[in-house]
Structure 1
Amino acid sequence: MSRPFTTAALVVPVTHSLLPRHLRLSNLPPFLTASTDTSIFRRRPYNFRPVSGPVTAGLGGFDVIGDGGSMLQDAGATALVIAGAYAFVSTFDFLSERKLIEQNLSRKLVHILSGLLFMASWPIFSASGWARYFASVVPLTNCLRLVIHGLSLATDEGLIKSVTREGKPEELLRGPLYYVLVLILCAVLFWRESPVGVISLAMMCGGDGIADIVGRRFGSTKLPYNKQKSWAGSLSMFVLGFLVSVGMLYYFSALGYFQLDWVSTVERVALVSFIATMVESLPITGMVDDNISVPLVSMVVASLAFAY
């Protein structure tokens, strides 16, 4: 009597091993594989399944060109994002110079949107190991620009007016410089592989940025322990930081970079938002800039909250 199941058990692994590496089941992107193990959503708040192999590309697809194609894709994405960032800041420079928008509002809108747009651009980079370093070139370019103009080695009045409070070049070496350094840190350390970097940038850009705008306009009632901060500003930071964090997590989750148990995730994001808001409200701005304290505290709390 023939034993078809025994034969199949021998033939299938051999046949599978003859397939090209990027077509094997173990190397397919997450959205093309199925799993019956639903316990992963009960054990931890998220489960990231990285796309393996250098031939896969961003957005969960395949880069059939291979390593050279990945590098070309990343170089092109870097150039595109740098050009977009320059055009973005230049637009606000133009608007503030023409008095079409207040200088302080322009500064805060750049603070809110530039980091979020940078993070939103990550999926256009490939899935290669060096993609995060290509992406970090974007804030690194801005970092060098801030240092050059902050040391008055060159002059750019539009840049100074759009990102500083008092219009002094040396201000570029404080808050704005810390801001771009955090962008580099999150891209290199966390990238698209963890909710931690996403939440940290969302809190620094969306939460902290909106707190200043709302606080200046509606912050008549000050906090009892810090007269420089208001209830309106802190409340807006908590709400907007939470909403932006959840929105960006949904964005990356929808693209397949990690899977989330949303009930657990919402609870953890709310915790991070609350603690980051409390830290931002403390009277320590003279010692530690918000662009350092808010994202670093968010990283620590989110790392603990989303730990395996």
Structure 2
Amino acid sequence: MTLLSSHLHLFSAVQRRAPPTATTLYHRNKPTTNHTVRFLCSPVVPAVRLDQRLARFVVPATAEDLLYNAGSAVGVLGSGYALVRAFDELTRKNILQQGLSRKLVHILSGLLFLVSWPIFSNSPKARYFAAFVPLVNCLRLLVNGLSLTSDQGLIKSVTREGDPRELLRGPLYYVLILILCALVFWRESPVGVVSLAMMCAGDGIADIVGRRYGSMKIPYNQTKSLAGSMSMFVLGFLVSIGMLYYYSVLGHVQLNWPSTVPRVAFISFVATLVESLPITKVVDDNISVPLATMAVAFFTFHY
């Protein structure tokens, strides 16, 4: 054995007999890039998936959807209330006449409700949160119409003569139609969209124009004018097309426009004809116009 080999043999023997210089208390893991939770210095324990550790801190999707739709309903309700209060203030300051203010509320509040539908989520239950908005107004009309309470701003904004009992007729029918369209048709059907457009914009503008420029009366109904009926047909048609385009752009309805336009024109004509009939004392316009529009639109768009 050479001198060099003997030294190497002695060195390896010493290394085998030497105790470890430190005691390892924690297992040092390498950082991971998968879905497990580890620490750089941690006891040796089984890895736990990230979604298992955080599941109890995550808000369920259903609860999140409910909170979102509830917030949307509150926002729309607040916007509608602000609209009515604004026109009430304009009436109080004599900036607008009461009759004109009432009809503008009739037009804009329903259209605001219709425009707000896409704000709600795609959940099947979203329509119930939307319908909650006119339901609250329905309850307000009932308690004021029955004189259980007195909201003079509401009464002045939506009645002709300032009689609280008027709230139980046209205005009440109006909000009931809003509820019906939201629950039955919602935003997947053009029927509800056109029905509300004709009731709100069409019927509303007919009264405004008719009172100002309605000297030429309809032969079979001296309480209605040709100017009012023509304005109802034109504005009702334009607003219906505009609303359908709005919903089609957002992807809620798919329409064949070359066939949709004449269909909407025909529906607008029928709604205008129904509004012109001398049946106001028997059936309120807020019932006859939207129900007739629904019936015609249903058969027109489905056949």
TM-score (norm 2): 0.80
Of 78, 81, 85 in structure 1, the residue corresponding to residue 76 of structure 2 is 81
Work out which of the residue numbers 240, 247, 259 in structure 2 matches 1:264: 259
Matched residues in 2 for 1:196 and 1:229: separation? Answer: 26
Deviation of 1:66 (Å): 2.3
Letter in 2 for 1:251: Y
* Aligned partners of 1:122 and 1:192 also within 8 Å: yes
The question of 1:206 aligning with 2:201 is answered: yes
Per the alignment, residue 37 of structure 2 pairs with none
CA–CA separation in structure 2 for the residues paired with 1:268 and 1:69: 40
Shift of 1:74: 0.3
Which among 281, 284, 300 is matched to residue 289 of structure 1?
A: 284
Partner of residue 169, structure 2:
174
Contact residue 97 and residue 158 of structure 1 kept, 8 A: no
Compute the displacement of 1:275 (Å). 0.4
- CA deviations 1:49-73 (Å, max 9, x no partner) are xxxxxxxxxxxxxxx9622221111
CA distance in 1, matches of 2:157, 2:63: 39
Residue 228 of structure 1 aligns to a residue in which SS? strand
How many aligned positions are there?
A: 245
Q: Over residues 150-182 of structure 1, what are the superposed CA-to-partner deviations in whole Å (9 max), with x where a residue is unaligned?
A: 011111111111101111000000000000000
Q: Which amino acid aligns with 2:147?
A: S
Partner of 1:248: 243
Name the CA shift for 1:65/1:256 in 2 (closer, same or farther; >3 Å). Answer: farther
> In 2, Cα distance between the equivalents of 1:65 and 1:209?
44
Letter matched to residue 228 of structure 2: G
Match of 1:94 in 2: 89
- Determine the C-alpha separation between the residues in 1 that align with 2:295 and 2:231: 22
Deviations 1:110-161 (A, max 9, x none): 0000000001001110011110000000000000000000011111111111
What are the superposed Cα offsets for residues 193-240 of structure 1, whole Å, 9 maximum, x if unpaired? 100000000000000000000000000000000000000000000000
Structure of larger gyration radius:
2
Q: 1:105, 1:295 → 2: CA distance?
A: 22
Q: 1:103 aligns with which of 98, 115, 135?
A: 98
The whole-number CA distance in structure 1 between the counterparts of 2:235 and 2:185 is 22
Paired position in structure 1 for 2:151:
156
1-side partners of 2:65 and 2:80: how far apart?
A: 22
Counterpart mapping for 1:215-230 below 5 A:
215-230=210-225
Which of 95, 109, 131 pairs up with 2:126? Answer: 131
Which gives a bigger RCO, structure 1 or 2 (Cα 8 Å, sep 6+)?
1
Matched with 1:300 is 295
In structure 2, give the amino acid aligned to 1:289: D
Gaps of 5+ in 1: 1-63
Partner of 1:23: none
2 CA distance for matches of 1:129 and 1:139?
A: 18
| Identity value in percent | 68
* Aligned-partner SS, 1:257: coil
Give the secondary-structure state (helix, strand or coil) at the position aligned to 1:227. Answer: strand
Write the letter of the residue equivalent to 2:253: F
Q: Cα RMSD between the aligned structures? A: 1.0
Q: Partner of 1:29 in structure 2?
A: none
**Cα distance in structure 1, aligned partners of 2:270 and 2:287:** 14
Question: What code does the residue aligned with 2:269 have?
Answer: F
Unaligned ranges ≥5, structure 2: 1-58
Counterparts of 2:89 and 2:145, CA distance in 1: 20
Q: Work out the CA distance in 1 between the residues paired with 2:84 and 2:60.
A: 34
Q: Which runs of 4+ in 1 moved over 2 A?
A: none
